[in-house]
């Protein structure tokens, strides 16, 4: 009989490590932005980015924006309050629905290290002070994290579970340029190398279906991302949401989204390549509101995950 292999998902990784159910609590703090949006490296952001589409918790749409040179932060108390409120709501839901026991506060939207150090410190420390929180996961760009912040996070990592999530998306500079990413792969490589030296946990984020990328290019991105020495990986199909630069290209027939079959096939091939010590943090993403333009198979994440599970099973892999 062929033996089935249970995949190393991030949930299983934490369960094994902490002997409890650990869940991430996504947080969106208003006032955070991105150097690729505010003009520091580019304007308009990545061609697929419409931040509010993946920031359902964002309630304060104030015009105030932080950056690395902001001298003072008059919104800090408000941000700390948002953090606490969002955390409590989601934590209670996860406890009730899944029996979650411990939590990682996940700074998800925008570039969560792109703010004055004192602001970051205040937010991270507040998050770590909440009951049942065992760590942080911080989503950011490789060009937007200072050595001071990295050193500080490394010191927190001695007592907590600290993860940094870097958006890699593709290892091809032509693609990164095409989607107005505002950084090249060399920058990503250098920052990840520095982060690794500090023993911080790293999650790399890849997108399949970027403009002009063949399956071989997507798989090459996976190979090179594995070689960076990351600890966990997230896969995501590129979908078009309204009010993004990609919408124009899509409407003009210049961009065709990846098909469901190609996405799943690329995903399975990628998962088969992963060494056992790289956990899987995400196999897809979905968006079920009317901001989604295409492809419509991305509108039902639940259906998609079940389909992916079945395909993995055919390959004797248990997700």
CB-nearer residue toward ligand SF4: 113 or 157: 113
- Measure the CA–CA gap between 310 and 300, rounded to whole angstroms: 16
Q: How far apart are CA 75 and CA 260, in angstroms?
A: 43
We find the least distance from the C-beta atom of residue 270 to ligand SF4, in angstroms, to be: 21
Please spell the DSSP secondary structure of 56-116, one letter per residue. TT-----S----TT----TTHHHHHHHHHHHHHHHHHHHHHHH---EEEEEE-SS-TT-S-
Residues of the shown chain interacting with ligand SF4 in the complex, contacts defined by CB under 6 A: 34, 36-37, 45-46, 49, 51, 110-111, 141, 167
Max alpha carbon distance in the chain (Å)? 65
> Could you tell me what percentage of the chain is helix, strand and coil, using 3-state DSSP and rounding each to the nearest 5?
40, 20, 40
Q: How far is the CB of 245 from ligand SF4 (least distance, A)?
A: 10
Other beta carbons within 10 angstroms of residue 240's beta carbon come to: 22
Of 27 and 37, which has the nearer Cβ to ligand SF4? 37
**Interior CA angle at 87 toward 319 and 204, to 5°?**
45
CB of 51 to ligand SF4, least distance (A): 6
111 versus 119: smaller Cβ distance to ligand SF4? 111
Question: In 3-state terms, what secondary structure has residue 191?
Answer: helix
| Residue among 37 and 164 whose Cβ is closer to ligand SF4 | 37
Closest separation between CB of residue 221 and ligand SF4, Å? Answer: 16
User: Among all chains, which residue has been given the structure tokens 């065709």?
Assistant: 256
Which one, 14 or 32, has the nearer CB to ligand SF4?
Answer: 32
**Smallest gap from residue 6 Cβ to ligand SF4 (A):** 32
Closest residue to ligand SF4 using C-beta atoms: 45
């Amino acid at each position: 009989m062929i033996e089935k292999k249970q995949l190393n998902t991030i949930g299983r990784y934490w369960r094994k490590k902490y002997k409890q159910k650990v869940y991430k609590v996504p947080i969106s703090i208003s006032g955070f932005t991105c150097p690729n949006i505010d003009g520091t490296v580019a304007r308009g952001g990545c061609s697929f980015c419409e931040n509010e589409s993946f920031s359902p918790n964002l309630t304060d749409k104030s015009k105030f924006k932080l950056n690395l040179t902001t001298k003072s932060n008059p919104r800090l108390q408000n941000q700390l309050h948002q953090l606490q409120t969002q955390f409590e709501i989601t934590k209670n839901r996860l406890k009730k629905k899944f029996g979650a026991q411990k939590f990682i506060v996940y700074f998800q939207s925008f570039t969560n290290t792109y703010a004055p150090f004192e602001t970051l410190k205040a937010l991270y420390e507040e998050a770590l002070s909440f009951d049942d929180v065992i760590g942080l996961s911080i989503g950011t760009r490789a060009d937007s994290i200072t050595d001071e912040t990295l050193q500080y996070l490394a010191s927190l990592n001695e007592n907590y579970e600290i993860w940094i999530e870097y958006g890699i998306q593709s290892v091809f500079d032509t693609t990164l340029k095409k989607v107005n990413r505002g950084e090249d792969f060399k920058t990503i490589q250098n920052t990840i190398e520095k982060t690794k030296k500090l023993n911080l946990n790293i999650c790399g984020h890849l997108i399949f279906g970027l403009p002009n990328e063949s399956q071989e290019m997507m798989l090459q991105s996976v190979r090179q991302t594995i070689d960076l020495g990351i600890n966990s990986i997230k896969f995501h199909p590129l979908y078009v949401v309204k009010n993004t630069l990609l919408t124009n290209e899509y409407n003009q027939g210049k961009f065709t989204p990846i098909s469901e079959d190609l996405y799943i096939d690329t995903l399975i091939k990628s998962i088969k390549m992963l060494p056992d010590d790289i956990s899987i943090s995400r196999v897809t993403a979905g968006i079920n509101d009317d901001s989604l333009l295409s492809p419509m198979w991305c509108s039902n994440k639940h259906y998609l995950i079940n389909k992916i599970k079945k395909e993995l099973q055919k390959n004797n892999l248990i997700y």
